[in-house]
Structure 1
Amino acid sequence: MNMFEKDEGILGKVEYSHLKRTKGEFFETAHSIRRQLGKQAYLLDKYLFDLLNAITETLAHDASSSGFESDIDLYHLCEETINKNEKSKDHSFYPTVKSFIDEHPLSFQEMITSMNFYLAQLYDDFLEYIAQLFFDECKLIMRGQIDLVYSRDLYRQISVIIGGEEQMEKLNMLIRQRFMITTAMAKFVQGITNSMLYTLTYRDVETNKPIIQIILEDMV
């Protein structure tokens, strides 16, 4: 079956009625927990406020653009390596780039074709390197909104008072389902993947072949 035969295969489906149901279930569950907490309902209020703030701030961080633009380092590393320029040799990803380029010499007339070929091939290794840096950056933003140690303590306190974790586990699941349609890391990965797509569809001026075709033809 061809999963891309319809518009929805690429764009996604316009089916969001379940989100309304999920939000309703979230409020019902939270309200039920608050009633059980009685005079200590403020514990849940604090838990939810901090958690939703943390989610808001990390998702507000322009992760997709950060991912899309993060390949600038990789571009410069490839360019300098092709030109035998060791200006960036102290960059921690430089050895990976140099090793790959040395092992895969190319003879295209246009340097930009070689650049896009190398970029397309190195993106996944670069992603493993750069994603951790972005994660650490997001963590600093998130930690400015929530104290995870305190949040875990609130979770435990609430669970003890209401007789177990089951309801809090359900509440957390509903928060993820309704308020975290995507995550900062997923947006970042998609951003850098978009950059990779541009390299794969770049056409060599001399042969008029896109990079994806050149890669396929180069495979043994």
Structure 2
Amino acid sequence: MNKLGRKLSLSISLAVIVIFSISILLTQYFLPKYYLHKTKERLEQVSNEIKKMDKTTFIHSKETIENKYGITIVYEPINSNVDELNEVVFSQLYKKRITLNKFWITEETLQKLAEGKKVNKIYDQGKLKSSFFASFMQRDDMLVLVGNSIVHFSDTAKIVNEFNLYMLLFSIILIIALVWILSKKITTPLKELKDVSKDISELKFETVHIKTNDEIE
């Protein structure tokens, strides 16, 4: 490959490497946070929608809202026995195929809900490599849980980054091939002009036919 080709290959390859490196870093460190942010945003939207409904409308619309947003909603009247409340809510989640080995509603959570506050909690499921994001709110005498299962991104990010590395290697090979073809198309007519210029300097005049459809022609 000529000098021009090497320079182009190196410059473009460096640019591609930088772009892929940024993509890998974003996937590894920022994508999980962004995914969590979007999940929280969606649950916030659902919670606000539920707040605007009366109790009867909410109960009748619950399944429609679940299907619309792809989330899980359970509700249960609040009583003084927090253990019973946990058992009932846990059972409702299980019926919806939400299997949790770490889940508990605390007295502190109920106290905040009684004060009109909303509580968000993430229940890490450990070896299951997933978490359950739950947003709690109180409607009249009911505890309402709006939740969504979220996967851990460690394995997913590893697979995505491995794919990015393969794509990087393929891109560099493709860049070298394309630059070699491009540089050859550029340097070949330039070499012809150089030869003609040399002949002219020696008073050997001749016509050269160059077809490049650009400024060189």
Hey, which of these two has a bigger chunk of strand by percent?
2
Hey, which of these two has a bigger chunk of helix by percent?
1
Q: Name the structure, 1 or 2, with higher relative contact order (CA <8 Å, separation 6+).
A: 1
